[in-house]
Copies of this chain bind each other. A is one copy, B any other.
Amino acid sequence: MAREDDAMPDIAEVTMVDVLRAVADPIRLRIVQTLADGLPHGKCGTHWDFGVHKSTMTHHFRTLRQAGLTRTVVSGRTHTVELRRDELDVRFPGLIDALTTAAGVPQRQG
């Protein structure tokens, strides 16, 4: 059952600028790079240890979902987040790959 906090846009309504705005942030980019493994991730996992407050992470997860990048999957009391990889790859060919490939390139912390 979809609830307000799970709402996400139809992929056909998502523009490239929407996606770029969402990932143009160091933490949100790292979240997307982590989710690029294709697996569902808990929102409280230790791999999200980015040194920011939980409410900040909640904001980042919401931004990604509302921009069309991720979906929330609810199973009982468990909420997981995953990348809408298949849809994104059709709508923006190569984009997620490009965002992920460069993850291996040393980047100045910005």
How many copies of this protein are present in the complex?
A: 2
| A26→B89 CA distance, assembly (Å) | 20
A38 within 8 A of partner (CB): no
Decide: A107 and B24 in contact? CB cutoff 8 A.
no
Q: Of the 9-residue stretches A58-66, A74-82, A92-100, which lies at the interface with chain B?
A: A92-100
A29 within 8 A of partner (CB): yes
Decide: B91 and A16 in contact? CB cutoff 8 A.
no
A52 within 8 A of partner (CB): no
Given A93-B101, A101-B94: A107 touches B16 (CB 8 Å cut-off): yes
Given A94-B97, A95-B102, A98-B94: A24 touches B20 (CB 8 Å cut-off): yes
A87 within 8 A of partner (CB): no
Chain B residues with CB under 8 A of A92: 98, 101-102, 105
